[in-house]
């Protein structure tokens, strides 16, 4: 099977299990909607925390589907078949990360703009928020794939996974929110966005290689 073929297979499986796929998106929208109830609907308060809320909710929502990323394949024997498909394990992990981003990251990115409007983020800052979320969500998919591969086969892997991924995701969160906040205070968001892009450039080769090694270890 080819790289593209594997991504297509993953997308088809996600489409067949539509409820699982939608769960992450609905979680994102619902969790973000709780904040106006909790902190009150005052526009200036909401606008101040909007970008942080969106980033944290997106991060947590992206974690939701991770334990099924390899879990199903591990339990039904498909992982063995994928490892024997002649594709290097790192490519396998990269294909999974791409599929995770297409199924979870991209919908979150699209939902972020309406949620930002709901949280009273000034209109002119929404493009900066999205510009940060774009590389940020890709890094989260890569780190999440790495975490999912590492906890594969461990007991209580679902609990372990956030503990492993959240600390790694902290820098992404800091610079992602930093970009949006810089724009709010009239500073340039450029350095924050460049740092996010640098993280993506680092994670793009490293996370799949490490995840591939973890997949090999899980199959042994």
Q: How far is the CB of 220 from another protein (least distance, A)?
A: 5
Nearer to another protein, 80 or 191 (CB): 80
Q: How far is the CB of 179 from another protein (least distance, A)?
A: 38
Q: Taking a C-beta distance cutoff of 8 angstroms, is the pair 124, 96 a contact?
A: no
Q: How far is the CB of 76 from another protein (least distance, A)?
A: 6
Nearer to another protein, 67 or 73 (CB): 73
Q: How far is the CB of 159 from another protein (least distance, A)?
A: 23
Burial profile 101-111: b = 16 or more Cβ within 10 angstroms, e = fewer: bebbbebbbeb
Q: Taking a C-beta distance cutoff of 8 angstroms, is the pair 14, 21 a contact?
A: yes
Q: Does 5 interact with another protein (rule: CB under 8 A)? A: yes
What residues numbered 12-51 form the site for another protein, per CB under 8 A? Answer: 12-13, 16-17
Q: How far is the CB of 30 from another protein (least distance, A)?
A: 26
Q: Does 186 interact with another protein (rule: CB under 8 A)? A: no
State both tokens at 192. 């924050």
> Site size for another protein, by CB under 8 A?
24
Q: Does 77 interact with another protein (rule: CB under 8 A)? A: yes
CA atoms within 13 A on the CB side of 186: 0
Nearer to another protein, 8 or 52 (CB): 8
Interface residue with another protein, options 4, 42, 81, 170 (CB under 8 A): 81
Contacts of 51 (CB under 8 A, 6+ apart): 116, 121, 125, 129, 177, 180, 181, 184
What residues numbered 82-121 form the site for another protein, per CB under 8 A? Answer: 83-89
Interface residue with another protein, options 34, 80, 122, 171 (CB under 8 A): 80
Instruction: Determine the Cα angle at 204 with ends 203 and 206, to 5°.
Output: 60
**How far is the CA of 85 from the CAs of 5, 29, 139, 177, in angstroms?**
11, 38, 26, 41
Q: Does 76 interact with another protein (rule: CB under 8 A)? A: yes
Instruction: Determine the Cα angle at 198 with ends 195 and 202, to 5°.
Output: 140
Binding site for another protein (CB under 8 A): 1, 5, 9, 12-13, 16-17, 72, 75-78, 80-81, 83-89, 216, 219-220
């Amino acid at each position: 099977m080819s790289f593209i073929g594997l991504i297509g297979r993953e997308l088809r499986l996600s489409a067949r299990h539509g409820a699982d796929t939608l769960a992450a998106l609905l979680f994102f929208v619902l969790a973000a909607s709780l904040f106006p109830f909790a902190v009150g609907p005052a526009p200036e308060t909401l606008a101040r925390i909007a970008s942080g809320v969106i980033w944290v909710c997106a991060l947590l929502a992206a974690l939701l589907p991770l334990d099924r990323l390899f879990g199903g394949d591990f339990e039904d024997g498909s992982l063995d078949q994928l490892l024997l498909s002649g594709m290097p394990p790192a490519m396998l992990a990269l294909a999974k990360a791409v599929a995770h981003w297409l199924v979870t990251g991209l919908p979150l990115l699209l939902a972020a703009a309406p949620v930002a409007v709901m949280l009273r983020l000034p209109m002119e800052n929404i493009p900066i928020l999205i510009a940060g979320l774009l590389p940020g969500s890709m890094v989260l998919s890569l780190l999440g794939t790495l975490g999912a591969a590492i906890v594969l086969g461990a007991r209580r892997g679902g609990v372990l996974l956030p503990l492993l991924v959240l600390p790694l995701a902290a820098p992404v969160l800091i610079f992602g929110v930093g970009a949006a906040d810089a724009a709010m205070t009239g500073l340039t968001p450029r350095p924050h966005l460049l740092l996010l892009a640098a993280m993506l450039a680092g994670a793009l080769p490293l996370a799949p290689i490490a995840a591939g090694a973890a997949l090999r270890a899980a199959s042994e």
